Amino acid sequence: MRYRGTLYRALNPVYAREPLSGQGAALYGGRFNPRGMAALYLSLAVTTALREANQAGSLQPTTLVSYDADIDAIFDSRDEAGLARIGLSREALADAGWRDRMRQDGQAPTQELALTLVADGYRGLMVRSFAAGSKAEDINLVLWRWGGAVLERRTLIDDEGRLSR
């Protein structure tokens, strides 16, 4: 699938000057990326981005950025038939124990999914948010490959250059 529209990302301020790096995700690993694999966790709504970035404890300092995006080669996990073709279920995507599996087995099944999708040529994954308080309509777009494509646009919206100061 192709996604065109605005995307939001709530960043730890440590990474605010590099809002397209994905290095924080690479350092620690995430639900949909193993350690060592950069990823941008983006959301289709501001509130979803804030929930995603602040899943543990109280609201922490957060830098909110938005992107104007036109990205192709996205796997849509909301498609039951597509999920079945790759041997995963919605329950597996939502598994709250993914961190335990990563520690125990080296990689969680959702991280293995990311590697499989990248090998199949996908740039990212459209997936429901599993952050506390999220609803079925809270959607994320996780990117593993971005930039350099002729038909792709993902432009940070920073009209006043605030992040470069």
**Domain for residue 163, yes or no?**
no
d(CA 78, CA 100): 25
Average pLDDT over the chain, rounded to an integer:
90
User: If DSSP states are collapsed to H, E and C, what string results for 18-79?
Assistant: CCCCCHHHHHHCECCECCCCCCEEEECCHHHHHHHHCCCCCCCCCEEEEEEEEECCEEECCC
Asked if the model's pLDDT at residue 1 lies above 90, the reply is yes
pLDDT tens across 138-163, in order?
A: 999 999 998 754 345 667 788 878 77
Q: Using DSSP bridges, classify how beta strands 124-128 and 74-76 pair: parallel, antiparallel or unpaired.
A: parallel
- Residue 162 in domain: no
Which residue range is the domain that position 82 belongs to?
3-157
User: Is 68 within the bounds of a domain?
Assistant: yes
Sign of CA dihedral 71, 38, 60, 100: positive
Rounded CA-CA distance 26/34 in Å is: 7
pLDDT reported for residue 165: 65
- Count of the separate structural domains present in the chain: 1
> Does 103 map to a domain?
yes
* Any domain includes 79: yes
Task: Please state the rounded mean pLDDT for residues 60-67.
Answer: 90
